[in-house]
Chains A and B, each alone.
Chain A
Amino acid sequence: MLKESETEKGTISVIIFEVEGEQFAIDLLHAREIIQKGQIRRLPQTFEFVEGIYNYRGDIIYVINLSKKLELHKYMSYKSKEDVEEEEEQSDEKYLVIVNINNVNTGLLVDRIINISHIKSNELVELSPIFETSISMEFIEGVIKFKDRPRILLNVDKILTEAEQVKIQKELS
């Protein structure tokens, strides 16, 4: 289990992970733990991005499929048959990053954990509108440099918006 990093002044610790071949980062402070994906149970009639539910230390938590949530799959280029097969083989080796969103533990399904990195806050830059990204601006907190390449720092709190809950309630009434 990863302990919350002691943030020295001016340093942010981030987890860098990969989803659908693209690398993202989230603030380590939001993450509670990274675990190997276990048995995720499907949930009837739910959002497409909800992968299912998972027993996290006795708590039932929702698992978000980041690829679907960030709509990455739409941008994926053509996959060969081999690619698909390989992906399926790997699917059991995926990871869950347990994050705390609005005091609720939620699992983010990611393909691969790349690294944990400490960056200086001045290395975090706000995203310029010109910057071309594959994902919606609202999920982006900023851009950091990792190994000389820019990575998108995701805004964890925005990944599950209240709007989604409101939407559900609307659908109900």
Chain B
Amino acid sequence: MSISKDDLKLFISETEDLIQKVEDEIFKLEDDPNNSQPKQELYFAFHTLKGLTAMAGLDKASKFCHYFETLLDKSKEVSIEEEKQEDFMKLLFDSLDLLRSILKRVKSGDFTDIDEQFLNVIKESFEEFESEKPVEVSMIQPVSADQLQKSLADKKNLFYKIYIRLQPTCVFKKVRLFIIFRALNDVGEIFFSEPEPQLLEEGEFKIDFELYYMSQKNNAEILKIIDEILEIENKVITPMTNAEVEKFHADVVKKWFDKAEKPKKVSAKPKPAKKKPGSSVEVGDEKSVSRVVETFRDDTDKITRVKVDIDVLEELMNFFGELVVIKNHINQHLKEQGDQETNRLFDEMDKPFMEIQEIIFNLKLVRVESTFRKYRRLVRDVAKEVGKKAQIILEGTNVEIDRKILEEINSPLIHILRNAIYHGLETPQERKKKNKDETGTLKLTTSRRAGLIYIVVTDDGQGINYEKIKEKIVEKEYYTAEEAEKLDEEELNRFMLMPGFSTLSGADQISGRGMGMAIVAEKIKELGGNFTIHSEKDQGTKITLMVPFTRAILNAQLIKVSSDLFAIPTENIKQIFLFNPASVEHIGEEQYYKLDSDLIPVIHLDDHLNFQDDGRSPSRIAIWIKKDEETSMMFVADEILQQMNVVVKPFKFNYSNFYDILGSTIMSDGSICLILDVLSIIDTALEEKRFSKLSQIQQ
């Protein structure tokens, strides 16, 4: 079956949700093994997964889910022995891995099923649980000689021998029989069969069987009835004469009656399987189903949530962004024309606009929990892999962040966590020697402050080995040994973040496979974020990431540098002045702007951007940008234009070395305006030590 792109998307998103559900419930179960609720949920999740994977053509994966479903179904009733609990949990975790790997493959368009051998292993380990519940069908009631005579006497009755061959793919043979029997018994009576009734009802037949049947319907009518039933490959209906029926009864049915006393009893009871109170097949199932039903009833009485594709949200965001741009444009137009009433009415639009913006923002936000809780598993596994013990404490998991950004910081965070376990934490023996708990503790704390998300990862390991870094610095001849000794933590950290600089001597089987800290740093910066490292010997390491919680609409100040348009986020601007050349003081190579008693470093944007060629405007402006309490700089531009909300589009730096760009935005005339990352420009300037005397002067 070919699956359309949309279906595939749906398959992926539904499967993803279910896998996440499975993981959550596994953790709940691990915390409280005696709680049957998670098992119930897992049962349900595996059941749905079974159906989904089957539909996607992943038969073995579907079977795999089926095994788990069965196992969980059983385990709801029977509690698992304590010593087996760990195996049970491991099995569940393994299943999770397998499901993830399948999903990953499907995402990349690979529909390879899981390995048959693996399936067998799983099946074997389940064998003890794996006895199919008996399915009972009983609808053939052999007629006694007396009854037959009566039936034969009624001229309306017609007799048939019906040969039926099922399709070889038929799996639920007994249900199939039930449906065939029911259809025929509706308009007549099956009075015997070959194989004989009991065997047939138990499914003791290969693929075909014969029914002996009486009915008042004619051949064509019976054919039509059977024709409506699925999974029948072939059927032959042959009428029997009365003589033939009598002979058959005498030869076969009578003998059968004589032979078996017991079946008689069975036949005396019309439908034993259904009425038997002890055979809990249906009853049990009904219960479990209704229990499933009950658990869902609680929270689904009202539909309070809808699922929306994230792409749709992005689209909504983009369209809204365009609307904002147009609105700005109209606004400008109106102000020029100066009709006060229109202006006033137009200004009233601001409030709903702001609120829509707020709502759309919030729609795009997800709790970090959705991603971060996966780290519990990660930490557990990575620690095991390297023979360490580790746990992770998650704090502030209800902090919300733009889904896109959350996706982007996932791999850097995983890398940081792996690093912490691999390099930071000591082995249990070492930890014992140091009087530490054998189990190392990682902590992931999330908080939101001033438009930024702070994510702090700490570990209680041995800390960064700065001595080794120094050795490396000397070895690679960046500094002499004496110089290296004088480097402070920040400078050493900077080395650590250099591409290709690693303290590791041997092959790093975990961290080395992923990305280096240098790439982590780059990635975070790409997101418009920043990060710091602080480490103390034997106390541990603390890494703080700061990322914007969204990047979408920004209030920006438009400026002109040379003849080109740029934008600066207004939140970074402290004040704007007319540039007074007399206020500039030259100290060495650098220029400082005198403001009251302060000297503020000056950045001429045209110089900085390499745009000097067009000449400077005679009346320039100075924009005071404040990074934090200690650091601020004066940016000099040629012209100041209006402030407006701009939609930030990410910008690809294919052909530019200039990385201090926050993004781009499209102006109402269709042209592009680059948004300058002024904070980053300040950092770059400081890094280049262009304002080395900055601190002394400002103090």
Q: Do chains A and B touch in the complex (CB under 8 A)?
A: yes
Residues of A within 8 A of B (CB): 38-39, 41-47, 50, 53-55, 58, 60, 62, 104, 164-165, 168, 171-173
| Pick from B651, B657, B672: contact of A168, CB under 8 Å | B657
Inter-subunit contact B656/A46 (CB<8 Å): yes
What is the CA–CA distance of A172 and B519 in the complex, to the nearest angstrom?
13
Given contacts A53-B672, A55-B671, A55-B672, contact A43 B666 (CB under 8 A): no
Q: A50-B655, A58-B666 are in contact. Are A45 and B610 (CB under 8 A)?
A: yes
CB-CB < 8 A to A164: which residues of B? 655
- Cβ of A168: which chain B residues have Cβ within 8 Å of it? 654-657
Least CB distance, A161 to chain B, in whole angstroms: 12
- Could you say which residues of chain B place their CB within 8 Å of the CB of A46? 655-658
> Digit string of B653-666 for contact with A (CB within 8 Å is 1, else 0)?
01111100100101
Bound-state CA distance A146–B674 (Å) is 42
Q: Is the CB of B655 within 8 A of A43?
A: yes
Closest to B676 in A: A44
**Contact between B611 and A42 (Cβ–Cβ < 8 Å)?**
yes
- Minimum distance in angstroms from A92 CB to a CB of chain B: 14
Which single member of B654, B669, B670 contacts A165 (CB below 8 Å)? B654
Task: Out of A39, A62, A171, name the residue touching B671 (CB < 8 Å).
Answer: A39
For residue A50, which residues in chain B have a CB less than 8 angstroms away from its CB? Answer: 655-656
* Pair A44/B651 contact, Cβ less than 8 Å: no
Give the B interface residue count (CB, 8 A): 24
Cβ–Cβ contact A44 & B672, under 8 A = no
Apart from A44-B674, A55-B666, what are 14 other A-B pairs with CB-CB below 8 Å? A39-B670, A41-B564, A41-B565, A41-B672, A43-B674, A44-B608, A44-B656, A53-B672, A54-B672, A55-B671, A165-B655, A168-B655, A171-B657, A172-B657
Given contacts A41-B564, A44-B609, contact A62 B670 (CB under 8 A): no
CB 8 Å contact bits of B670-685 with A (1 = contact, 0 = none): 1111100000000000
Q: Does B615 count as interface, using CB distance less than 8 angstroms?
A: no
Q: Are A45 and B658 in contact (CB under 8 A)?
A: yes
| A55-B655 Cα distance, complex, nearest whole Å | 16
Q: In angstroms, how far is the closest chain A Cβ from the Cβ of B616? A: 16
CB of B649 within 8 Å of the partner chain: yes
Ordered by A's residue number, 16 sampled pairs between the chains whose C-beta atoms are within 8 Å are: A38-B670, A39-B671, A39-B672, A41-B671, A41-B673, A41-B674, A42-B564, A42-B611, A44-B661, A55-B670, A60-B649, A60-B652, A164-B655, A168-B657, A172-B657, A173-B499
Could you tell me the distance between the alpha carbons of A44 and B656 in the complex, rounded to whole angstroms? 7
Find out whether the CB atom of B670 lies under 8 angstroms from the CB atom of A47: no
A80, B651: Cα distance in complex, Å? 40
Given A41-B565, A43-B655; A60-B664 close (CB under 8 Å): yes
Determine the distance from Cα of A38 to Cα of B669 in the docked complex, in whole angstroms. Answer: 10
Instruction: Please measure, in the bound complex, the distance between the C-alpha atom of A39 and the C-alpha atom of B666, giving whole angstroms.
Output: 11
Contact of A60 among B499, B610, B651, B669 (CB under 8 A): B651
* Nearest 6 pairs of A and B residues by beta carbon: A39-B671, A44-B609, A45-B658, A44-B658, A46-B656, A45-B657
Nearest residue (CB) in B for A53 is: B672
A104 to B652, CA, bound (A): 12
User: Taking the nearest CB of chain B, how far is it from the CB of A69, in angstroms?
Assistant: 11
- State how many angstroms separate the Cβ of B602 from the closest Cβ of chain A: 18
Chain B 5-47, CB-CB to A under 8 Å as 1, else 0, gives: 0000000000000000000000000000000000000000000
Chain A residue numbers with a CB within 8 Å of B672 are 39, 41, 53-55, 60
Q: Which residues of B contact A47 (CB under 8 A)?
A: 655
List chain B residues, Cβ under 8 A from A53: 664, 672, 674
Point out the residues of chain A lying under 8 angstroms from B657, CB to CB.
Answer: 45-46, 168, 171-172
User: Once the chains bind, are B655 and A62 in contact (CB under 8 Å)?
Assistant: yes
Most chain B CB neighbours (cut-off 10 Å) among A38, A45, A47, A62: A45
B609 contacts A45, C-beta separation under 8 Å: yes
A117 to B: closest C-beta gap in Å: 31
Contacts of B664 in A (CB 8 A): 53, 60
A39 touches B669 (CB 8 A): yes
A-chain residues with CB within 8 Å of residue B610 when the two chains form the complex: 44-45
CA distance A171 to B654 in the complex (A): 13
A63 to chain B, nearest CB (A): 10
B657 to chain A: closest residue by CB: A45
Residues of A within 8 Å of B655, CB to CB, are 43, 46-47, 50, 62, 164-165, 168
Which of B608, B657, B661, B674 has the most C-beta atoms of chain A within 10 angstroms of its own C-beta?
Answer: B657
Q: In the complex, what distance in Å separates the CA atom of A44 from the CA atom of B611?
A: 7
Return chain A residues, CB-CB under 8 Å to B652: 60
- What chain A residues lie within 8 Å of B669 (beta carbons)? 39
Contacting residues, chain A, for B671 (C-beta < 8 A):
38-39, 41, 55
Q: How far is the CA of A39 from the CA of B670 in the complex (A)?
A: 8
Chain A residues near B499: list those with CB within 8 A.
Answer: 173
Chain A residue contacts of B649, Cβ below 8 A: 60
Q: How far is the CA of A44 from the CA of B666 in the complex (A)?
A: 17
Specify which chain A residues have a CB less than 8 angstroms from the CB of B565 in the assembled complex: 41
Q: Mark B329-340, 1 if CB is under 8 A from A, else 0.
A: 000000000000
Contact present for A43 and B656 (CB under 8 Å): yes
- In whole angstroms, what is the CA distance A39 to B667 when docked? 11
Within the complex, what minimum Cβ distance (angstroms) separates B143 from chain A? 77
For residue B611, which residues in chain A have a CB less than 8 angstroms away from its CB?
A: 42, 44
Query: Looking across the interface, which residue of chain B has its beta carbon closest to that of A50?
Result: B655
B658 touches A43 (CB 8 A): yes
Q: How far is the CB of B583 from chain A (nearest CB, A)?
A: 26
B180 to chain A, nearest CB (A): 58
- Residues of chain A with a CB closer than 8 A to B666's CB: 55, 58
Within 8 A of A (CB), among B603-626: 608-611
A62 touches B609 (CB 8 A): no
Chain A's nearest CB lies how many Å from the CB of B524?
Answer: 16
How long is the Cα–Cα vector from A2 to B499 in the complex, in angstroms? Answer: 46
Cα–Cα, bound, A101→B657 (Å) = 21
Measured between beta carbons, the chain A residues less than 8 angstroms from B670 are: 38-39, 55
Say how far A171's CB is from chain B's closest CB, in angstroms: 6
State the Cβ distance, A72 to closest chain B Cβ, in Å.
20
Among A38, A39, A45, A55, point to the contact of B656 (Cβ < 8 A).
Answer: A45
User: Measured between alpha carbons, how far is A63 from B523 in the docked complex, in Å?
Assistant: 27
Taking the closest CB of chain B, its distance from the CB of A66, in whole angstroms, is 15
CB neighbours of A44 from chain B (8 A): 608-611, 656, 658, 661, 674
B685 CB to nearest chain A CB (Å):
14
In the bound complex, CA of A42 to CA of B608 (Å): 14
A residues less than 8 Å from B658 (CB atoms): 43-46
Interface centre among A39, A42, A46, A47, by most B CB within 10 Å?
A: A42
Cα of A112 to Cα of B499 in the assembled complex, Å: 46
Chain B residue nearest to A173 (CB atoms) is B499
Residue numbers in A under 8 Å from B654 (CB-CB):
62, 104, 165, 168
Q: How far is the CB of B26 from chain A (nearest CB, A)?
A: 41
State in angstroms the CA–CA spacing of A47 and B411 once bound together: 32
Chain A residue nearest in CB terms to B666: A55
Complex CA–CA separation, A152 to B674 (angstroms): 36
In the bound assembly, the distance between CA atoms of A89 and B334 in angstroms comes to 33
> What distance in Å separates the Cβ of B461 from its nearest Cβ neighbour in chain A?
30
Once the chains are docked, how many angstroms separate the CA of A153 from the CA of B9? 43
Which residues in A have their C-beta under 8 angstroms from that of B656? 43-46, 50, 168
Q: CA separation between A39 and B656, bound complex, in Å?
A: 19
Write the nearest CB–CB distance from A13 to chain B, whole angstroms. Answer: 29
Instruction: Give Cα distance in the complex from A171 to B655, angstroms.
Output: 12
Chain B 45-84 against A: per-residue CB contact (8 Å), 1 yes, 0 no? Answer: 0000000000000000000000000000000000000000
Complex Cα distance, B684 from A172, in Å, reads 14
Per the bound structure, the CA–CA distance linking A46 and B674 in Å amounts to 14
Measured CA separation A97–B206 after assembly (Å): 71
In the assembled complex, the CB of A165 is this many whole angstroms from the nearest CB of chain B, namely: 7
